[in-house]
Structure 1
Amino acid sequence: MEELMAGKKMSKKKVDDEMSKKKSHEEEVVKDEAAEATPEAVEDTGADELTKMQEEIGQLNDKYLRLNAEFQNYRKRVEKEKSDIFKFGTEKLMIEMLPIMDNFERALQASAAENMDSKVLDGIIMIKKSLDEFFDRNGVKKIEALGMPFDPIKHHAVMTVEAEDGKEDHVTEVFQDGYELNDKVIRPSMVKVSH
């Protein structure tokens, strides 16, 4: 048994010797690495990290600027859409009201040709005046066409005629008035054009 105990002591001593050799070898390796890490090497590592960080900051700044520009464009687009809804939200109603205006104008023209009761004529004039005021309040304006140069956006040519006074491409007759809503043509004038 003593031999067994003596063997254990010997092996424990061997293990301790091995461990101390390993430890001293590791310390030498660490010292060698520390000696190799000169101030220049440390500065190079720091400079590399600084350069990487500056590049990352630049990329993040570019991303921020792009996102900010996109947001500003979105905000402007929403503002314009909201403004357009306000300006042109009544467009459909105004377009549907135009035939009513046309009928009152025809009634006034017919009353001039015929002897109409003055009370009926006064009623037609009052209603026409109310419609004119309604259109004015809502931004609807009649397109001036007679004698004006032909504009394919504002005028719809249904007939042409030889120019008698030398004015080519001018409106010589209006068959149906055109209208604009806040400077947007909602119905072009139907016209006869000289050529």
Structure 2
Amino acid sequence: MAKKKEKHKEQEDQDEIIRNGEGDELTNQDKTPEVEVNPIDTLQEELDALNDKYLRLNAEYQNYRKRVEKEKSDIFKFGTEKLFADLLPVMDNFERALKVDDASKTNDKFHEGVLMIKKTFDEFFEKNGVKKIEALGQPFDPEIHHAVLSEESDDVESEHVVEVFQEGYTINDKVIRASMVKVSK
């Protein structure tokens, strides 16, 4: 029992030393070192993070705005593409009618009427940016020509268009129908 009292007395003495600030060595060992945080540094880091977030958001918005403007422009530029693609068979039929009528020369008034309608269509197409692809005698280009036949030819250079079966068209430099052609070997 005397030993318990001694141990209890020693504990009270150590607690007293710690409370009075004596025995710094003991308190320093028990405490973990605290890092002083400067509030200005913390605020600067938060400001930098928010500024970075703002710059990224602003860049994303600018990219979005440019993308929307381009889409609007493309819609305006190519919005009539389907309409003209649907009108191409009508244009083909006018061209066929003119070829047949040229060969037979049966009715000059009919021929003039069809020619006037064809001319009106040509002007309408041109006014809206639709152009015929010039293919005859041109080098073969798979982007604008669709080769359906090929033949040996001494008169024409190799890989050039010899005959056009169906005219091709572009709208604002975009192919809406490739020309169907015969190509020389």
Superposed, 1:173-192 pairs within 5 Å as 173-192=163-182
Partner of 1:134: 124
Is 1:121 the counterpart of 2:89? The answer is no
Structure index of larger Rg: 1
Letter of the 1:133 counterpart? E
* Greater shift in the superposed pair: 179-188 or 156-165: 156-165
- The alignment yields a C-alpha RMSD, in angstroms, of 1.8
Rounded Cα–Cα distance in structure 2 between residues aligned with 1:165 and 1:49: 87
Does the 8 Å contact 2:156/2:162 carry over to 1? no
Is contact 2:169–2:178 with CA below 8 Å preserved after alignment?
A: yes
- Distance in 1 of aligned mates of 2:43 and 2:157: 73
User: Aligned to 1:152, which of 142, 158, 175?
Assistant: 142
Three-state SS of the structure 1 residue aligned to 2:70 is: helix
1:105 and 2:95 are equivalent in the alignment: yes
Q: Aligned partners of 1:66 and 1:115: how far apart in 2?
A: 71
Match of 1:93 in 2: 83
Residue deviations 1:84-128 (CA, integer Å, cap 9, x gap): 111111111101110110011111111111022111011001000
Equivalences for 1:11-160 in 2 at 5 Å?
45=37, 48-160=38-150
Q: Is the 8 A contact 2:150 2:182 kept in 1?
A: yes
Counterpart of 1:170, as a letter, is H
Runs of 4+ in structure 1 deviating by more than 4 angstroms, as ranges, are: none
Q: 1:51 to 1:163 in 2, by over 3 A?
A: farther
Identity of matched residues, %: 64
Between the aligned partners of 1:194 and 1:73, the Cα distance in structure 2 is: 48
Unaligned runs of 5+ in 2: 1-19, 22-35
> What residue identity is the alignment partner of 2:144?
K
Counterpart in 2 of 1:39? none
Which structure shows the bigger proportion of residues in helix conformation?
A: 1
Determine helix, strand or coil for the equivalent of 1:151.
coil
Could you tell me which amino acid in structure 2 is paired with residue 113 of structure 1?
A: A
Is 1:161 the equivalent of 2:166? no
**Cα distance in 2 for residues equivalent to 1:169 and 1:52:** 72
Q: Secondary structure at the match of 2:111?
A: helix
Question: TM-score, normalised on structure 2?
Answer: 0.77
